[in-house]
Amino acid sequence: MSQNGRFITFEGIDGAGKSTQIAATLDWVRAHGHVAVQSREPGGTPLGERLRELLLNEPMHLETEALLMFAARREHLARVIEPALAAGQWVICDRFSDASHAYQCGGRGLPVAKFEALEQWVHPALQPDLTFLFDLAPEIAAARLQSGRANADRFEREQRDFFERVRDAYLQRAAASAGRIVVIDAARPQEAILADVLATLEARFR
């Protein structure tokens, strides 16, 4: 747990619909008088955004992919997340290490022990205070992506079975998270999802 500010992350397979809920969470945090910092992974710093370009577009070995995700994360922690939390600000982040567990281990087959070693190296004492996992069947997510996006990136071009494995890894991580990860059924209408998000924020932080 962060000592001062709060760290809230958003996860799910591509097309699960995080953006609207991130915007609503930012509004909620600010309406309650806190300074909110919005960020994303991979990315969130000038170097991290350059690594993001490579990660989303350049073919690479699965361990290279995992290492670059955590390299971008190390920079993000040092330059954005840790200073903001220490200043009492709330960090609202689109993806964090749960995505590495889901995509690199679940999706690509990276051994979990290697993920855990990187996590232990890069953020041994920090986890999000709260993580929303927007859970959705890959076929519904794929249909949403196709109608909403012209140029798919390296991850979005993956097949259904990849996203099934990513989804399963996310759900396993949620089950082992002792309540940190809240699973939201993202197949429902946006208003129902939003109501769950706001109710969770009220229950956890008020």
CB closer to ligand TYD out of 16 and 36:
16
Q: Which residue of 21, 22, 41, 92 would you call a contact of ligand TYD, by CB under 6 A?
A: 41
| Residue (of 172, 169, 92) closest to 138 by Cα position | 169
State how far the Cα of 47 lies from the Cα of 99, in Å rounded to an integer.
Answer: 19
Contacts of residue 201, defined as CB under 8 A and 6 or more positions apart, other chains included, come to 25, 28, 29, 130
By beta-carbon proximity to ligand TYD, the closer residue of 112 and 205 is 112
C-alpha of 110 from chain center:
18
Cβ distance 184 to 133 under 8 Å?
Answer: yes
Q: Can you tell me the distance from the alpha carbon of 76 to that of 94, in angstroms, rounded to the nearest whole number?
A: 12
**Is residue 63 near ligand TYD by the rule CB under 6 A?**
no
The piece of 40-48, 83-91, 134-142, 185-193 that touches ligand TYD (CB under 6 A) is 40-48
Task: Indicate whether 99 belongs to the interface with ligand TYD (CB under 6 A).
Answer: yes
Stretch that binds ligand TYD, among 84-92, 99-107, 131-139, 183-191 (CB under 6 A): 99-107
29 near ligand TYD (CB under 6 A): no
69 near ligand TYD (CB under 6 A): yes
Of 7, 14, 75, 80, the residue at the interface with ligand TYD (CB under 6 A) is: 14
Q: How many CB atoms lie within 10 A of CB 179?
A: 8
Q: Is 103 in the site for ligand TYD (CB under 6 A)?
A: yes
Residues of this chain, 160-189, that bind ligand TYD according to CB under 6 A: none
Residues in the chain: 206
Number of Cβ within a 10 Å radius of residue 103:
26
Give the closest residue to 14 by CA, choosing from 148, 119, 126, 131.
Answer: 148
Say whether residue 11 binds ligand TYD (CB under 6 A).
no
Of 10 and 28, which CB lies nearer to ligand TYD in the complex structure?
10
| C-alpha–C-alpha distance, residues 153 and 35, integer Å | 32
Count interface residues toward ligand TYD (CB under 6 A).
13
Stretch that binds ligand TYD, among 37-45, 113-121, 123-131, 168-176 (CB under 6 A): 37-45
- Give the residues lining the site for ligand TYD (CB under 6 A): 14, 40-42, 69, 94-95, 99-100, 103-104, 153, 155
